[in-house]
Structure formats: structure tokens, C-alpha cells
Amino acid sequence: DSGVTQTPKHLITATGQRVTLRCSPRSGDLSVYWYQQSLDQGLQFLIQYYNGEERAKGNILERFSAQQFPDLHSELNLSSLELGDSALYFCASTIGAGGRETQYFGPGTRLLVL
């Protein structure tokens, strides 16, 4: 158990809908990262937040947005869902903002868009 929690574990929804994925980092960690794992692709970095501010952005679609709240939990919002958004979404956390720390991954949310 990494100490990172994600909810829900599974999500099934229809095209065009909007969903929110939630992540709580390890106690004391200030950075949260979001990743997408699709069937035909490796782990893709989406976005990083550090202490409430956006720190780095990957190839995150405009239909996707994220935020980190004062209590440091983060939410990833996916809207106008398409079949291709079906994937495993992980969040990870670290104490600092830089990249020389181990990232601790949550259990993931498996999203299925029908």
C-alpha cells in the first residue's frame, strides 16, 4: 500500500458524459501527478500539481482538466468523453516538486466509456 488513494476504482459511463476522478496523496506529499495508461500506449504523463499550483503539463486534452485543493487532494475532470478515453488513470505523489524523488502510485481508476 503506497498511501495514495484513488476513487472510484472502476467507472463505466457513456460517450459525451463527464466524470471526476479523485486522488488523495500520501500524508505530507505536496505534489500530485496524473497519468493515463491506454491499451496501446505506455504510461502517459498528463499533469502535475504542486501545493495547489500547476507545475507541469503533458499531452493533456483540452477536454480534461485538473485541480489540487487546499487539503492537497486532486481531482481530474474528463468531459465530452469519447471511446478512446477508456483507460486506466493513475495518480502519484511526492513530497517535493522536482523529479529526483520516488513517485508513489495509487491503485488507479479504470474508466470504461461505452
Partner 1 sequence: ILNVEQSPQSLHVQEGDSTNFTCSFPSSNFYALHWYRWETAKSPEALFVMTLNGDEKKKGRISATLNTKEGYSYLYIKGSQPEDSATYLCAFLKSWGSSNTGKLIFGQGTTLQVKP
Q: Which residues bind partner 1 (CB under 8 A)?
A: 2, 31, 33, 42-45, 48, 55-56, 58, 90, 94, 97-108
CB of 20 to partner 1, least distance (A): 20
Given CA atoms 110, 30, 24, 55 in this order, what sign does their dihedral have? negative
Residue closer to partner 1 (CB basis): 5 or 79: 5
- CA–CA separation, 21 and 32 (whole Å): 13
Nearest to 66 by CA among 51, 48, 83: 48
Q: Which is nearer to partner 1, 3 or 16 (CB)?
A: 3
We find the least distance from the C-beta atom of residue 21 to partner 1, in angstroms, to be 14
Least Å distance between CB 9 and partner 1? Answer: 11
Minimum CB distance to partner 1, residue 17 (Å): 25
Instruction: Collect all residues with Cβ–Cβ distance below 8 Å to 87 and sequence separation of at least 6.
Output: 36, 37, 38, 39, 110, 111
Among 96, 73, 63, which Cα is nearest to 21's? Answer: 73
- Nearer to partner 1 by Cβ, of 19 and 46: the residue is 46
